[in-house]
Amino acid sequence: MDLVSLLTQGIAGTFAPYNFAVMVIGLIVGVVAGALPGISFVNAMAMALPFTYLMPPVAAMTFLGGIYVGGVFGGSISAILINIPGTPASLPSCWDGYPMSRRGESGRALAIAITASAVGGLMSALLLTFGAPPFARIALTFDQPEFFAATILGIVSVVAIAKEDAWRSFLSLFMGLAVATVGIDPLYGVARFSFGVPALESGVNFVVVMIGLFAIGEVLDLICQRQDQSALGRRRDGGRRAGLADLWSVKGSIARGTGIGCMIGVIPGAGATVGAVIAYGVEKQASGQGDRFGTGVDAGLAAPESAKNATTGAAMIPLLTLGIPGSAATAIMLAALLIHGINPGPLLFATDPRLVYTVFVSMIVANLLMIVAGVAVARGFAQLMRIPPAVLGAFIVVLSVIGAFGVRNNIFDIHVCLAFGVAGLVMKRFDFPSAPLVLGVILGPLAERYFLTSLANHDDRVSVFVTRPISATILAMALAFLAWAMWPRMTRLWRRAPA
């Protein structure tokens, strides 16, 4: 069957009334879940999974796909408006999106974010549609050393996102890596750094850390400053809107972010967070205005926004062609397929092409509809800024506590969340960056697991990371990226040396 016939079947399946309706519902649920502080869209997908039992397989995939697409963007709404990322991938959107909102340009920031996210997601969905087989062959060659190299590239990117004081960022990163070591050793299965506390043996979840640092920490800072958040909301709700000239000016940033997101997303396990962080770091070096990043630069918002949504379609490639989930969200989609007795893989394209191409087309349509859903939810969310600070703070704390508990249904996670909330306040008061700490907690376990399994599978030879062409190339990219990011600081030190 030719491509035109397959796409025709996909279009018919997507726009079937029931399938289209559940996709739109999923899209709205994803945007709202992503935007609410403390509620992750992955949790929303997990909670929605039981509802797919009674759905046909095609409807189940369009429903979960809608939540996936909407949720990845939704976290940027709270990140831009109140400096609380709704998802880990929205963390870089705080760094330039929130300063724009502070200047009264929330409408402009949201317009740039929605446009960049839609373009990135649409290009990723087109890549999924037309490039799945060749990308699957490339991903098939990846093994643990390649995964380790990709994770190191994400960790190295913390140098690029660091501001003037790189050493504080390094220290914050190492603190995050230290927190990530708490729990069960991934190779030997023994507890470490639990200090006799049984609850610590399960480790410290990065979602709980992120909620504490950004949600609880932001509320404590708001209370300590006694800021009139309702006045800020009135200022942010207006301001200059983004015109076509503003959107056209960041076309290069969107293109670079989309390319990076597609490349990172197709690597199983990398995810939207790694793509967004790397895109921000690359854009800081490539835009020519890196010294202004963190003050509300359009390029600093557009690049990670396009990158994180570009990972959505790309992450579906290893899922559908190899049966390997590329992210936590696609792992839930894999569970939905298995529940219905469908085994993803190369044979799926021959046995059930209608399902495959309906998923392809639904991802394209969902990214187009995300513009409407994003604008509607953002306008409603902006009204929260008119709520008195005490009420708004209580609302965020309640959602954060519920979100922290819902991650693993563990009461101890609430204590960890509150502790990191206090830590977030202290770090903010002493101008200590908290983003590298979160990145360390997220990427540290991945790097450790890939490193140990690589050694175990290759006779404890460390040289395996540089003898395999793909992993060596990625590590060389990380080294070049590190040198590129550190070069301006090193040249300033050399110039001061004679004096």
Tell me: the pLDDT tens digits for 336-380?
A: 887 788 877 667 777 788 888 888 888 889 888 888 887 777 777
Share of the chain above pLDDT 70, in %: 82
Between CA 304 and CA 113 the distance in angstroms is 9
Question: Over 80: is that where the pLDDT of 274 sits?
Answer: no
Distance in angstroms between the alpha carbons of the first and the last residue of the chain? 73
Q: Which of 113, 66, 64, 87 has the alpha carbon at shortest distance from 378?
A: 113
Helix (H) or strand (E) holding 468, with range, is none
Task: With cut-offs at 50, 70 and 90, classify the pLDDT of residue 236.
Answer: very low
Between CA 215 and CA 434 the distance in angstroms is 12
Two structure tokens written together for 102: 């502070």
Question: Over 80: is that where the pLDDT of 163 sits?
Answer: no
Question: Over 70: is that where the pLDDT of 464 sits?
Answer: yes
- 111 against 151, higher pLDDT: 111
Q: Which of 237, 238, 224 has the alpha carbon at shortest distance from 389?
A: 224
Q: Do residues 399 and 37 make contact, with C-beta atoms less than 8 angstroms apart?
A: yes
Share of the chain above pLDDT 90, in %: 2
pLDDT at 228 (0 to 100)? 47
Question: What pTM value is reported for the model?
Answer: 0.66
Q: Do residues 32 and 319 make contact, with C-beta atoms less than 8 angstroms apart?
A: no
- The domain limits of the chain are 3-490
